[in-house]
Structure 1
Amino acid sequence: MTHDLGATAPDPGADRATATQTALTSLVARFAQQWQTPGDPPDLSAHLPAEPALRRSALIELIKVDLHERWQRDTDAPRLADYSRRFPELTAAPLPPDLVYEEISARSRRDNHDVDLTEYRQDYPTQMARISQRLDTGHQDDPADPDAEPALRTTMLADPTALDALDTINPGATVDDFDLLLPLGQGAFARVFLARQRSMGRLVAVKISHDRGSEPQTLAQLDHDHIVRVFDKRQITDQHLKLMYMQYVPGGTLLGVLRMLRRTTPAQRNGQLLLEAIDAATTTGGVLEPQPSPTRTEISRLSWPETVARLGSRLAAALDYANHRGILHRDIKPANVLLTADGQPKLADFNISFSRHLPGANPVAYFGGSLPYMAPEQLEACHPNLDTTAADLDTRADLYALAVVLWELLTGRIPFDDGHDAGETEQSLQAMIDRRRTPIAERFDADLPPDTPALLRHALLTCLSPDPADRYATGAELAQQLDLSQDRAARDLVDPPTHSLRARLRMRPMPVVTLSSLLGHLLAGLYLGSHDLRLIRDALGPDAAGQVARLGIIVILIGYPIAIGALLYWCRSVFIVPNGLRRGRQFDADTLAAARAATLACGDRIAIATFAGWLAALAIFLAELHRLGGLPAGLTTSLIACYLVAACVAVVYTYFPVTYFVLHWYYPGLVAAGPTTPADAAMLRRMVHRSRIYLGVAACVPLIGVPAGLVFLTPDQQQLVIGPIVGLCVGGLFAFLITLRTFYALETDLNALDRVLDPHPRT
Structure 2
Amino acid sequence: MTTSHTDAVARFAADWQHSIRDDRRPPQITDYVPDGTQVRLAVLTDLLRVDLRQRWEREGLGKRVVEYRKEFPEVEHSPEFVDLVCEEFLARRRNAPLPMAEFLCEYPELADEIRARLTEFTDAEAEDIGTAESSEAVAAVADLAPGQRLDDFDLLTDLGSGVLGRVFLARQRSMQRLVAVRFSAGRAGAPRTMAQLDHPHIVRVFDQLVFHADDTQSPAVSSSTGHRGAPTMHENTDTTIARTPDNSDTTIATPPDLAATIARAPDDSDTEIATPHDPAATIQTPFGNRSATATGSLADERTIAQTPRRHTDISAVPTVGARLPRLIYMQYLPGGTASGVLEQRRRGPVTDGGALLLRAVDAAMEARGEIRPSDSSVRAEIARLSWPETVAWVGRRLADALDYAEHHGVLHHDIKPTNVLFTAEGIPKLADFAIHEAGALTATPKHTAVEADSLRYHSPEQLAQLLDPAAPTPGASSDIYSLGVLLWEMLTGAGPFDDPPSAEHGAAVEAFAGALAVRRRGVSAALSHLPEDTPAALLRVLRECLRIDPKQRWRNGAELAAQLDLCLDPRARGLVDPSPRSLAYRARGWLLPFATLCIGVPNVLASFYNIQLNQALIIDRMSTADQHKFAAVGLINNLIAFPVAALLLLFLTRRPLTVGYRLNRGHEFSARTLARARRDTLLMGDWAVWVPFGFWLVAGIIWPLGLASSGVDLPSGTFLHFFAAQVVCAAIALAYPFFPIMVYSVRSVYPQLLVRGGIGLDDERQLRALARRGNFYLGVAASVPLLGVASATFVNAADLELVIVPVRILSVGGILAFVLSYRMFRLLEADLLALARAIPQRKR
Q: Give me the TM-score of the superposition, normalised by structure 1.
A: 0.72
Report if the CA contact (8 A) 2:481-2:546 is conserved: yes
2:486 to 396, 405, 420: 405
Report if the CA contact (8 A) 2:128-2:190 is conserved: no
Q: Structure 1 pair 165/498, CA: closer, same or farther in 2 (3 Å)?
A: same
Q: Structure 1 pair 546/750, CA: closer, same or farther in 2 (3 Å)?
A: farther
**1:637 and 2:682 correspond:** no
1:338-396 superposed Cα distances (whole Å, 9 cap, x missing partner): 01122211001223389998535342x5534212111233234445xx3248x923222
CA RMSD of aligned residues (A): 3.9
Distance 1:592 1:362 in 2: 41
**1:219 and 2:300 correspond:** no
Report if the CA contact (8 A) 2:724-2:791 is conserved: yes
Aligned-partner residue type, residue 554 of structure 2: Y
Distance 2:672 2:162 in 1: 50
SS of the equivalent of 2:399 reads helix
Residue of structure 2 equivalent to 1:251:
335
2:820 to 738, 743, 754: 738
Q: Structure 1 pair 537/326, CA: closer, same or farther in 2 (3 Å)?
A: closer
**1:460 and 2:542 correspond:** yes
Alignment of 1:678-693 (within 5 A): 678-693=761-776
Larger displacement relative to structure 2 (190-199 or 635-644): 635-644
Residue of structure 1 equivalent to 2:453:
369
Distance 1:396 1:332 in 2: 12
Distance 1:603 1:206 in 2: 60
Report if the CA contact (8 A) 2:412-2:436 is conserved: no
Residue of structure 2 equivalent to 1:651:
734
SS of the equivalent of 2:610 reads helix
Distance 1:751 1:423 in 2: 55
Alignment of 1:200-219 (within 5 A): 200-212=175-187, 215-219=190-194
Residue of structure 2 equivalent to 1:113:
none
Distance 1:407 1:463 in 2: 10
1:604-630 superposed Cα distances (whole Å, 9 cap, x missing partner): 323232123323543465368867763
1:289 to 359, 362, 372: 372
Residue of structure 1 equivalent to 2:522:
440
SS of the equivalent of 1:351 reads helix
**1:271 and 2:354 correspond:** yes
Distance 1:543 1:728 in 2: 31
Relative contact order, higher structure (CA 8 A, sep 6+): 1
Distance 2:409 2:164 in 1: 26
SS of the equivalent of 1:387 reads coil
Distance 1:580 1:167 in 2: 60
Shift of 1:649: 1.2
**1:518 and 2:518 correspond:** no
Alignment of 1:148-167 (within 5 A): 155-156=132-133, 159-167=134-142
**1:428 and 2:510 correspond:** yes
Shift of 1:255: 0.3
**1:419 and 2:500 correspond:** yes
Report if the CA contact (8 A) 1:407-1:415 is conserved: yes
Alignment of 1:73-88 (within 5 A): none
Larger displacement relative to structure 2 (306-315 or 455-464): 455-464
**1:359 and 2:444 correspond:** yes
Shift of 1:232: 1.2
Aligned-partner residue type, residue 201 of structure 2: H
Distance 1:559 1:353 in 2: 64
Q: As a proportion of its length, which structure holds more helix?
A: 1
**1:173 and 2:148 correspond:** yes
SS of the equivalent of 2:404 reads helix
1:583-608 superposed Cα distances (whole Å, 9 cap, x missing partner): 44444444444433433332232323
Distance 1:356 1:611 in 2: 63
**1:262 and 2:346 correspond:** yes
5+ residue gaps, structure 2: 1-96, 101-114, 213-316, 319-323
Q: Structure 1 pair 349/420, CA: closer, same or farther in 2 (3 Å)?
A: same
Larger displacement relative to structure 2 (471-480 or 733-742): 733-742
Aligned-partner residue type, residue 667 of structure 1: Y
Distance 1:610 1:189 in 2: 69
**1:350 and 2:325 correspond:** no
Residue of structure 1 equivalent to 2:557:
475
Q: Structure 1 pair 320/548, CA: closer, same or farther in 2 (3 Å)?
A: same
Residue of structure 2 equivalent to 1:717:
799
Distance 1:335 1:270 in 2: 22
Residue of structure 1 equivalent to 2:692:
610
Q: Structure 1 pair 549/732, CA: closer, same or farther in 2 (3 Å)?
A: farther
Q: Structure 1 pair 733/597, CA: closer, same or farther in 2 (3 Å)?
A: same
Aligned-partner residue type, residue 482 of structure 2: A
Report if the CA contact (8 A) 1:493-1:668 is conserved: yes
Distance 2:543 2:777 in 1: 42
Distance 1:576 1:692 in 2: 29
Q: How many residues align?
A: 615
Shift of 1:219: 1.6
Q: Structure 1 pair 717/496, CA: closer, same or farther in 2 (3 Å)?
A: same
Larger displacement relative to structure 2 (590-599 or 371-380): 590-599
Distance 1:153 1:277 in 2: 33
Residue of structure 2 equivalent to 1:68:
none
Residue of structure 1 equivalent to 2:172:
197
Distance 1:647 1:720 in 2: 22
Report if the CA contact (8 A) 1:279-1:290 is conserved: no
Report if the CA contact (8 A) 1:332-1:373 is conserved: yes
Q: Structure 1 pair 338/762, CA: closer, same or farther in 2 (3 Å)?
A: farther
Report if the CA contact (8 A) 2:130-2:189 is conserved: no
1:514-557 superposed Cα distances (whole Å, 9 cap, x missing partner): 11112321442354355444444786699999997998789668
Report if the CA contact (8 A) 2:701-2:723 is conserved: no
% identity of equivalent residues: 42
Report if the CA contact (8 A) 1:507-1:582 is conserved: no
Distance 1:687 1:234 in 2: 56
Report if the CA contact (8 A) 1:416-1:435 is conserved: no
5+ residue gaps, structure 1: 1-129
SS of the equivalent of 1:192 reads strand
Report if the CA contact (8 A) 1:600-1:663 is conserved: yes
1:122-165 superposed Cα distances (whole Å, 9 cap, x missing partner): xxxxxxxx9x99xxxx99xx9xxx99977998645xx4433443
Q: Structure 1 pair 604/629, CA: closer, same or farther in 2 (3 Å)?
A: same
1:246-265 superposed Cα distances (whole Å, 9 cap, x missing partner): 11112111100000111124
Residue of structure 1 equivalent to 2:209:
234
Q: If you compute each CA radius of gyration, which structure gives the higher value, 1 or 2? A: 1
Distance 1:691 1:299 in 2: 35
Report if the CA contact (8 A) 1:513-1:662 is conserved: no
Distance 1:392 1:280 in 2: 39
Q: Give me the TM-score of the superposition, normalised by structure 2.
A: 0.65
**1:508 and 2:590 correspond:** yes
Report if the CA contact (8 A) 1:220-1:230 is conserved: yes
Shift of 1:405: 0.8
Distance 1:640 1:488 in 2: 49
Residue of structure 1 equivalent to 2:610:
528
Report if the CA contact (8 A) 2:352-2:386 is conserved: yes
SS of the equivalent of 1:695 reads helix
Shift of 1:202: 1.7
Shift of 1:475: 1.5
Distance 1:589 1:471 in 2: 13
SS of the equivalent of 2:778 reads helix
Aligned-partner residue type, residue 662 of structure 2: G
Shift of 1:293: 2.6
